[in-house]
Amino acid sequence: MSYFGTDGIRGKFGELPITPDFALKLGFAAGKVLKRTSKKSKPIVVLGKDTRLSGYILEAALQAGLNAAGVYVHLLGPLPTPAIAHLTRALHASLGIVISASHNPYFDNGIKFFSSEGKKLPDELQDAINQELENDMVIEDTANLGKSVRVKDANGRYIEFCKSTFPYHLDLSHLKIVVDCANGAAYSVGPSVYRELGAKVVALYNDPDGLNINKDCGSTHPESLQKAVVEHQADLGIAFDGDADRVILVDKNGEQVTGDHILYILATQGRQKPVGIVGTVMSNMALEIALDKAQVPFVRASVGDRYVLQALDDKGWVTGGEPSGHILTLDKSTTGDAIIASLQVLTVMVEQQKALHELTDGFYLLPNVLVNVRLSQMFDPYTVPALVAEFEKAEQQLKGRGRLLIRKSGTEPVIRVMVEGDDLAEVTQLANSLADAVRANAI
């Protein structure tokens, strides 16, 4: 049995596999695999988390399991997911582990791994951990137990790393920025980065209590940020998700700037034009059209940063991402990083002395409607002939003017029905009717 999904292990806390006893065994299994595969006699694992209350319990369980297997653990505390990826490399650790369910509500949690290079865990290591989970926990010699230490300057290390991706001869002293921290992992380091680069910062949702992460805030709920930017007469707004690997921007007029906009800015107006851009099947058709006009190659990957990263590696490119704001700039970081992505856009703004809305002038997303159909039990809609016929009929209707995407969620029992085209009324009608058809044919 494989416990790993497209982005680590995720679920509701208290239900398998997100339970204290499973986390203990997972830590032990990962530790045993490291002991066998690492060249170091005492492998080091860095362990970080977001601000969920359940993170303290999972952290303790994972730590105990890793120590029991003879592995040393460096505890980082609440930090963005990309910070754990960076510090895995910086501290020469053999493995990085993040406890987070990203943009999900507080009652969910997850566990994901980074390799020693700060990248997604190779399949062979993931498979080895899965296999080790089938074995009993047997402690062979208490003299070989691992130890744990808390890294006291983890925040400062990551802040300096982020700042190093912004040109040293520039600053943000003329900008006022509203930062929505989603009551998540970047609640402290996020505002600090922009302040230390000279910006005047208004911080929102930076008071986590363990239960308010992502609650009506952050990149999935930017409405409060949009309002705050206008009220504070700020130059822009920046919204993170719970673990700060996604970013959504807001211009001074309160208009949302998505991941597609960010890729457009970096591809067409960045200081170094990228060789090519990797988007996903969810990327708006307008991005593809705009990049084609700018003569920047564009390819689509499956949804998920794992697949964007794989496509970038295959092409030898460095820039890619998703409309949700998961942006990869591999010349700066090994994984999606909300703070670093925002700094790349700020670099363009400062160098060109332009407001954010000026950088997106003339780039308009095609109307797009996404309907999430929640199921009691997942099924593949393409195995139902009646549904396939409905999908094909819709595709013919949109031919040359838009597109249709039906996909299963990788993290929950949901089928996502997305319709995109040049007519909002038509797109809305098609999305709702196709979603109704999926519900009617659900198991």
Cα distances (angstroms) measured from residue 136 to each of 1, 2, 28, 62, 131: 16, 17, 10, 16, 11
C-beta separation of 146 from 31 below 8 A: yes
Which residues neighbour 254 within 8 Å (Cβ) at sequence distance 6 or greater? 226, 227, 229, 230
44 pLDDT tier (thresholds 50, 70, 90): very high
Classify burial at 138, counting beta carbons within 10 Å of its beta carbon; exposed 0-12, middle 13-18, buried 19 or more. Answer: exposed
Sheet holding 256-257, edge to edge: 200-204, 176-180, 236-240, 247-251, 256-257
2 pLDDT tier (thresholds 50, 70, 90): confident
SS3 418: strand
List the catalytic residue out of 94, 102, 115, 342.
102
CA distance from start to end of the chain? 24
Whole-number Å distance between alpha carbons of 417 and 434:
7
For residue 1, is pLDDT > 80?
A: no
Query: What's the pTM?
Result: 0.92
pLDDT confidence of residue 13: 98
For residue 41, is pLDDT > 90?
A: no
Q: Is 164 a catalytic site residue?
A: no
Whole-number Å distance between alpha carbons of 30 and 34:
6
For residue 158, is pLDDT > 90?
A: yes
Whole-number Å distance between alpha carbons of 107 and 4:
19
The predicted model gives 399-410 an average pLDDT of 87
Binding-site positions for Mg(2+): 102, 241, 243, 245
270 pLDDT tier (thresholds 50, 70, 90): confident
Domains in the chain, please, with CATH?
A: 9-152 (3.40.120.10), 173-256 (3.40.120.10), 258-365 (3.40.120.10), 368-440 (3.30.310.50)
pLDDT confidence of residue 7: 79
pLDDT digits (tens, 9 = 90+) for 59-103: 999 999 999 999 999 999 999 999 999 999 999 999 999 999 999
pLDDT confidence of residue 42: 87
pLDDT digits (tens, 9 = 90+) for 121-144: 888 999 999 999 999 999 978 999
Mean pLDDT computed over every residue of the chain: 95
For residue 272, is pLDDT > 80?
A: no
The predicted model gives 201-215 an average pLDDT of 98
Q: Which residues of 31-66 are buried (b: 16+ CB within 10 A; e: fewer)?
A: bbbbbeeeeeeebbbbbbbbbbebbebbbbbbbbbb
Residue type, 220: T
